[in-house]
Structure formats: C-alpha cells, structure tokens
Amino acid sequence: MRSRRFLSIILTVAVAVGALIYTFVAGNTPLLGLDLEGGVSVVLQPKAGQDYGQDELDESVEIMRRRVDALGVAEPEVAVQGDSISVSLPGVDDPQRALELVGQTARLRFRPVLAHDDIRLGGAPIEDPLTEPDDIEDDAVVVLQGQPDEDGNVTTYVLGPMGADGTAVAGANAQVGDIGTWRVALDLNSGEAGLDAWNVLATECFTRTEACPTAQIAIELDGTVVSAPEVQTPTFAADGVSITGNFTDAESKDLALVLRYGALPLELEPQQTRTVSAALGGDALEAGLVAGLVGLVLVALFMILYYRALGVIAMASFVVGTALLWAIVAWLGETQGLALTLAGVTGLIVSVGVSVDSNIVYYENIKEDVRAGRTVRRSIEGAFSEAFSTIVKADVSTLIGAALIYWISIGAVRGFALFLGLATVLDLFVAYFFMRPVCLAASRREWLTTRPRLLGIPLDLVHPEPASAREQATASAEVTT
C-alpha cells in the first residue's frame, strides 16, 4: 500500500516534469489570440438589396475560412452572427490587406474588349458613363476601369457580354514569368462552361470578329479589369491560360488565392472594424498575468498561514497541475491552433480557486474527523473518501457550467469556458494522484501528527492519542510491581 502511494506521487511528478521538458525542447508556446497578440476584427454585412439566406451566409463563411487558412493566420475566427459575419485575424502583419482579401467577392468574368482609351477616337477618353458595380450584368455591354499603372494612369474599357466566368477556373497559382514579372496561371475545368467556353471566346478574339475587334480578353474581378491580354492563339490547353498585368508578388498571390477558393455568394461591406495593436495586446497580457500572480500570492499566503504544512502540500499540488496545464495549452496551440485569449486567461485565473477549493474541502474534512474523536493520522487517512466525493460533485458542476457557456457562446467567451473546463479536469487528476498520496505520506510522519498545529489543526480539537499495546503492558507491569 505504501509503495503504491509513493509510486503515484513519483509518476505524477514525472509526468509533469516530463511534459515541461518536452514543451521547452519542442519550443511549444501558447498561441495568443487577437486581444493578446494584436490583430484586426471586422463585422461584415451583406449589401442591401440582395436576396440571401442562411445557406449563403454559411457558404461565405466557409470560403472565407479557406482564404484565411491560406494566408497562414493562426487561430482565425470566422463565424455567422445573426445576419452578419464576424472575422477576427490575430497576429496579421498587414491588417488592411488581410481584410480586403477575406471580404473580396471575387466574382470573375472573362469578357471581350470592344474598345478602350488607347484605341478609341485617337486616344480620346471614353465618354460613356462607367457601369456601377451593382448594375454589372453578364449579358450586357459594360464600361469599366482597369487598375492604375506605375504612373497612376487608369484605362477605361468597353467590354462585351461575358464569355466565361469564375466557375471555369479549377485552380490558380502565382508564378514568375520569363521576364521576371508576376502572373497568375489558371487551370480550367473541362466541359462546356469551362475550357470550351474559354476557347470560343479566344477564337473570336484571335480572328478579331465583331464581337472582339481588339483581340483582347478582359479579366474582370469584382467590377475592375485586372488584366486585358491580347490573344495569341485560337485555342488553349486546360493549363495554358495565365493572367498578366502590373502585379507585385503579394498582389499576384492574393489574386490566385481568391480565384482558387471561389467567389463569395454575397457582396459584403464592413460595418464595424476593430484593430488591436501588438503593444495593446501585450499590455493586456501583462495585466492578466499580474492579476493572476497577485491573486496566487495572496491565496498561497492564506493557505500556508492557515493550514501550515497542509497549505504547502496544496501549493505543491497547484504547481504540479499548472505544469501539466501549461504543457497541454502550449501543445494545443502548436498542433491544433488553439489560441489563448484574455478570456482564456480569466478562465485560468478562476481555476486557481477551483484547485485550492479542492484542498480546502479535504482539509476541513480532516478537522471534522479530529473534532469527532479520531486521531490526526486516522483523520487524514479516512477523510479523503468523503472529501473526494464532494470535490467530484463541485468539479462536475463547474464542468457543466463551462460546457453550457461553451455551447451557447461564440468567440472569446468560449476560450474562458474551455480553459476553465480543462483546468477543472486536471484538478480532479492532481487531487487523487498527488494531493491524496502526499497527505497520506505526511500522516505517517510522527513529528507532524504529534504536532497538529503544524497541520493547521487547533489543539483544542485534538483528543489524546490512545496508548499503544506495548505502552499499556509496561504501565500494567509498573502498577503490579
């Protein structure tokens, strides 16, 4: 029995120390969320006049998540909130670029170029009014502008009806061309709406029919002409199409990303944007850590002053539990993308009370047994069963509350519930496999049990220890003599 008790202590400490060593060797650290690391969040609302339902919102969220994942943003949050979509991107270097990329509609159309500034009326500007984004139709002639060049000049295009759209695209990748410029290579789907539609348009432009007198195909993205290359061959292979233009590295990769993951079914506009600087996030983290440390020091002082040696055991239990918790949180951050937010830090601080409460329940049960007439040793040995039953009930109620909070809430509040629940489960583990055997080992130390005040037990509660059999025999012999 005694060897099993010491084995439990050794194994628990070994697991905690081993987990910490692995964490430091592997370089695992908790992944910080938006409010601790800094970043940007935005609430996007569908533009007025659109017919949409829950399916369109869910599809938009899924596409946006894939775009964010491709950006390499750790632990993003993209979720539907009523009729809006909430996006949180922690740790991004260029928040504005990330938001534009995530919310870009990415409606792609391939249109023949009927005319543009450089070839119409000897270079005179086109006087036709520009087509507003909301008025763009697939089967009508539109007037759109291109992207500014290096000098800031913008070309205006007159475009014919759409020949193919983004559904023709199977994949897109940013590449460096032969002359060192960036381009986007497209892979087209086979079939009537894919490669076939593209080749019909390409043939018209190559032969300069009335439908495409300039031999140029305009690549229109969300109402802007990003490129208008001249067609050099009447037919293309499925992987032989590329978008060229005045692209930078980042621009070509962003364009490839939005084309690769498809168009959003809704046109969205930002309603509320919040940017958290890294400095502000660091201040929030520091404030949370200071609050936690101050609370921990006060709790430790109370436990040690009130329960003496038992208080020291309580703090040792807390250290073991904290080591395990830190290792698990760091591992989940590195492997599962679980972010630690300010709400999560709050959950961990609250868990200090849960952990200490388990010790207090046990220690007060020891006092009750001593008051009832048991010896200090017997009280320590026998009080745990009833105390652990109470600990389990209290922790299960905490877990139920954490589960309900996690289920009915969204965003950072879920972090509070998750980390509180995780710490509560570890509290049960540490209470049974570390606190209990350590207290039982202490009960075998006569220098402690004969000095109950060292265990925080008042002397007026202690009953005289019963004499051992040898002491009774010796006393009897003296009386007889």
Q: What is the chain's pLDDT, residue by residue, as a tens digit (481 residues)?
A: 567 778 889 999 999 999 999 999 998 888 777 777 777 888 888 887 778 888 888 888 888 887 777 776 666 778 888 888 888 877 776 777 777 777 777 788 889 999 887 655 445 567 778 887 777 888 889 999 887 877 778 888 999 999 988 888 888 888 887 777 888 888 888 888 888 988 999 999 999 999 999 999 998 888 888 888 888 888 888 887 777 767 788 878 877 877 777 777 777 888 877 777 766 667 777 887 788 788 889 999 999 999 989 999 999 999 999 999 999 999 988 887 777 888 888 888 888 888 888 999 999 999 888 888 888 888 888 899 889 999 999 999 999 999 998 888 766 678 889 899 999 999 999 999 999 999 988 888 888 778 888 888 877 666 555 544 444 444 444 444 4
**Environment class of residue 126 by beta-carbon count within 10 Å: exposed (0-12), middle (13-18) or buried (19+)?**
middle
Beta bridge partners of 65: none
122 alpha-carbon distance from chain centroid: 56
Residue 349 neighbours by CB under 8 Å, 6+ apart: 288, 291, 292, 295
Contact between 216 and 230 under an 8 Å Cβ cutoff? The reply is: yes
Residue 100 neighbours by CB under 8 Å, 6+ apart: none
Q: Given 79, 102, 125, which residue is the final one in a domain?
A: 102
Residues 414 and 357 in one domain: yes
Residues 365 and 237 in one domain: no
CA atoms within 13 A on the CB side of 413: 10
Contact between 17 and 323 under an 8 Å Cβ cutoff? The reply is: yes
Contact between 169 and 163 under an 8 Å Cβ cutoff? The reply is: no
User: Tokens 């029995």 map to which residue?
Assistant: 1
On whether residue 269 sits in a domain, the answer given is no
pLDDT at residue 122 in the model: 47
What is the C-alpha to C-alpha distance for residues 445 and 135, in angstroms, rounded to an integer?
87
Q: At what angle do helices 95-103 and 249-260 cross, to 10 degrees?
A: 30
pLDDT at residue 478 in the model: 44
DSSP 54-93: HHHHHHHHHHHHHHHHHHT-SS-EEEEETTEEEEEEET-S
Q: Given 232, 263, 294, which residue is the final one in a domain?
A: 263
pLDDT at residue 391 in the model: 93
Contact between 162 and 217 under an 8 Å Cβ cutoff? The reply is: no
What is the C-alpha to C-alpha distance for residues 198 and 404, in angstroms, rounded to an integer?
53
Residues 304 and 370 in one domain: yes
On whether residue 479 sits in a domain, the answer given is no
Containing structural domain, residue 442: 2-33+277-461
On whether residue 98 sits in a domain, the answer given is yes
Residues 309 and 418 in one domain: yes
Residue 420 neighbours by CB under 8 Å, 6+ apart: 347, 348, 350, 351, 354, 398, 402
Q: Given 216, 233, 263, which residue is the final one in a domain?
A: 263
Residue 129 burial (CB count, 10 A): 7
**Length of the chain, in residues:** 481
325 alpha-carbon distance from chain centroid: 18
pLDDT at residue 370 in the model: 87
On whether residue 328 sits in a domain, the answer given is yes
Q: To 5 degrees, how large is the angle CA 127–CA 130–CA 132?
A: 165
pLDDT at residue 452 in the model: 81
On whether residue 475 sits in a domain, the answer given is no
Residues 391 and 318 in one domain: yes
Residues 318 and 454 in one domain: yes
On whether residue 272 sits in a domain, the answer given is no
Give the closest residue to 418 by CA, choosing from 351, 331, 354.
Answer: 351
Residues 422 and 283 in one domain: yes
Structure tokens at 404: 């309900």
CATH number at residue 369: 1.20.1640.10
What is the C-alpha to C-alpha distance for residues 113 and 414, in angstroms, rounded to an integer?
52
pLDDT at residue 448 in the model: 79
Residues 245 and 138 in one domain: yes
On whether residue 271 sits in a domain, the answer given is no
Residues 298 and 447 in one domain: yes
Residues 390 and 451 in one domain: yes
Structure tokens at 149: 């060049």
pLDDT at residue 469 in the model: 44
Q: Which strands make up the sheet holding 169-176, listed edge to edge? A: 169-176, 182-188, 241-244
pLDDT at residue 479 in the model: 42
Amino acid making up residue 369: D
Residues 309 and 398 in one domain: yes
Number of domains in the chain: 3
Q: How does DSSP classify residue 120? A: S
Which H helix or E strand runs over 140? none
CATH number at residue 259: 3.30.1360.200
What is the C-alpha to C-alpha distance for residues 204 and 112, in angstroms, rounded to an integer?
9
Residues 249 and 355 in one domain: no
pLDDT at residue 23 in the model: 93
DSSP 384-403: HHHHHHHHHHHHHHHHHHHH
* pTM, entire model: 0.61
Contact between 264 and 60 under an 8 Å Cβ cutoff? The reply is: yes
CATH number at residue 60: 3.30.70.3220
